[in-house]
Each structure stands twice: as C-alpha cells, then as structure tokens.
Amino acid sequence: MVPDYYAMLAIDPNSDRAAIEAALTRCQPLWSSGTRNPKNKHTYQSYLDQIPAIRQALLTDDHNRAAYDTELTSTRSAEKDKKLDQLMRLVKLRAAKGGLSVADRSILRDKSGSLGLTKEDLDRLIEPIPARAEPPREEDGPEPIADLLDGTTRRQIRVALEHLARRDLYDALGLLQDAPTFEVAARATAERGRWMQKSQVTAEKTVWLEVISYAQSHIVAPTERVRYDRTLRADAEDSLVESALFAIDGLDRLDLGTRHVLLDEAAAKGIAPDRAEKLIKKACASKGVARDLWGAPPTASSLLRLLRCRSCGGVTNYAD
C-alpha cells in the first residue's frame, strides 16, 4: 500500500512544489517532537523515515509525481473496497433476519459514516435487500473476572501489532498459537538478534524490537503465556459480543438467521458453539432482546417441561 503523503503533510493533492516544500519545513519539527509521545512515536518516526521518499515522489520531476499519484489513486480504491467489504459484513448481520427495518438502515447509515463511506455507498449495498416492518419489544448477571493482561498493556501491544499488520504476538513471530514454548523462545531470541544487527534506527526496527520484547515477556514463560492466551480469547469474545450488539440493536427478538450468522462469526474467531451461545444470550439480555430458539437443540430441562406440558394437554417452548 502506498502511503498518502498529501494527508501526512496536510496539503491538497494539487499543491505546487513551493507549497509541498513549505509543508515539509512545517511538519518535520512537529514529527520530531511527536516521537517523544509514546502513543504516537511509531507513527511520527515512520513519517520522518519517509521524508526522502516524499521528496523523491513529489519534488523531483513531473514524471515521478504523476506515477505516485496514479499509485495513490489505486491504493485509495483498494482501501475503499476494504471498507465496503466491512460495511457489507455489517449489512449481512443486520439483514440476516430476512430484511432491513427503518431502524436497521439508520444504524447502518451511522456505521457507514464512521467508516468514511457515503450514504450512496450504503444505498448501493442495501438496494436489493427487502424492507422489514419495525418489530413491537428478557436479563443476566456479571461473569467472574478473569486473570487477563491489564488494559494499558493490551492497548500497547495492539498498537505495536497494528503497525506491523500482525494479528497477535504468535503471528508476529510467524508461529501458531500452539507452538511449543521452546520454539517460541528460540524464535523470539533469533528475531531480536536479527533486528539488533541492523545499525540504522528506523520506525520499523523500533516497533519490531518492541513487539519481540512483548513476546519474550508474555508468551515465553508458561504462566504469562496462559494469561496472554486467555486475553486473546477474551478479545475474540469481546469482538463477538460487539458484533451481536450491533446485529440485534433495535430488535425485539433474535431470529434464527441472525443467530446463525453470529455463530458462523464465532467459529471464525475460534469460539466454541456453546460459549458463543452464552455470549449471544448475554448480548440479548443487555439489550432486552428475546431469543428465538426454535430449531435449536432442546435441552434436557426443556424436554422434561415439554413432556409434562403434553401430559396435561398444553404447549411449551424449548427455550430455557
């Protein structure tokens, strides 16, 4: 992906050479001071590292700038396609019940805006989806607190991994999550040695060494590794609950279509079906949304209730 130098410099893509030079003069000291802030240090160091590339692309000759502009247009198009895929996933979650209500469309419009997409982009995606009437309108207790990495550490690891476009510390080391501990330790040591050999200090080297340090702290020692793995599971579950809350927002009942889409998403995140059901139930309870469990396997207690009810001529539901 080509970085957007115009956005980095906060200038119009049609700016002339003098305006670009002035923007570079203005931004360079701001970027240097920005590297002293732990929250932004990797971003601003990467901007400083890219100054020669900015000059090469925008200030050498018209041919180089035209080539850069063409590549940037292609990158922006790819980024928009990625956002449209994200929005399509959200549309699918809301429409799984058989259509979109007015409330669904309003929620999706807000999401579309937060992704930087337009109302027209959303309208094109939802045009073939049938309208659904607004539905007319159950609660749970807190789960025990698990031993997880603290919020600050989780945030720091996530920011560093995002710079490397890696999923987790295992992915950063090129390993599977069930890799033996000795292999994790050996790979982390080897990667640290490889990056320490590079004499030039760059944003890439800094963030790689930071991630390797996190790996040595959190997935080499068995106790710490258990905590990190538990944190990964918690993050996946939080993500599923977020999806569930989005999918059921404004509904009175969780329909089977939406439930199946959420279970598919849970499976993709490595969450077992029974655990996924509990998380979906939790999300429904927090929103006051009833669950439609027709078609779900009946539990032993629901079967007993059904038998008792039939013995007296009544009808019951499988839902617990």
What pLDDT, on a 0 to 100 scale, did the predictor assign at position 319? 41
Q: For residue 290, what is the enclosing H or E element? A: strand 290-291
Alpha-carbon Rg for the chain, nearest whole angstrom, is 26
Q: Which burial class, exposed, middle or buried, applies to 177 when counting CB atoms under 10 A from its CB (0-12, 13-18, 19+)?
A: middle
Closest CA relative to residue 23, chosen from 5, 10, 36:
10
Number of neighbours of residue 43 by Cβ within 10 angstroms: 17
Start-end of H helices in 249-272? 256-268
What pLDDT, on a 0 to 100 scale, did the predictor assign at position 158? 92
β-strand 290-291 against 253-254: which pairing, if any? Answer: parallel
Tokens representing 55 are 């000059």
Alpha carbon distance 73, 308 (integer Å): 67
Residues whose CB is less than 8 angstroms from the CB of residue 304 and which lie 6 or more positions away in sequence, other chains included: none
Q: Which burial class, exposed, middle or buried, applies to 230 when counting CB atoms under 10 A from its CB (0-12, 13-18, 19+)?
A: middle
Q: For residue 44, what is the enclosing H or E element? A: helix 41-49
Alpha carbon distance 316, 320 (integer Å): 11
Alpha carbon distance 250, 103 (integer Å): 7
Alpha carbon distance 86, 88 (integer Å): 5
Indicate the SS3 state at residue 159.
helix
246-271 pLDDT, tens digit per residue, is: 999 988 899 999 999 999 999 999 99
What pLDDT, on a 0 to 100 scale, did the predictor assign at position 40? 83
Residues whose CB is less than 8 angstroms from the CB of residue 87 and which lie 6 or more positions away in sequence, other chains included: 108, 111, 112, 115, 117, 121, 122, 125
Please tell me what DSSP assigns to residue 200.
Answer: S
**Which amino acid, 201?**
V
Closest CA relative to residue 281, chosen from 240, 317, 231:
240
**Which amino acid, 81?**
D
What pLDDT, on a 0 to 100 scale, did the predictor assign at position 142? 59
Task: Return the half-sphere exposure (C-beta side, CA atoms, 13 A cut-off) of residue 261.
Answer: 19
Tokens representing 141 are 């207790």
Q: pLDDT tens digits for the chain (320 residues)? A: 789 999 999 999 999 999 999 999 999 999 999 888 888 888 899 999 999 999 999 999 999 999 999 999 999 999 999 999 999 999 999 999 899 988 899 999 999 999 999 999 999 999 999 988 776 654 455 566 678 988 889 999 999 999 999 999 999 999 999 999 899 999 999 999 999 998 888 989 999 999 999 999 999 998 899 999 999 999 999 999 999 999 999 888 999 999 999 999 999 999 999 999 999 999 999 988 997 654 444 444 444 544 454 444 444 343 43
What pLDDT, on a 0 to 100 scale, did the predictor assign at position 291? 77
Residue with structure tokens 């209500």? 101
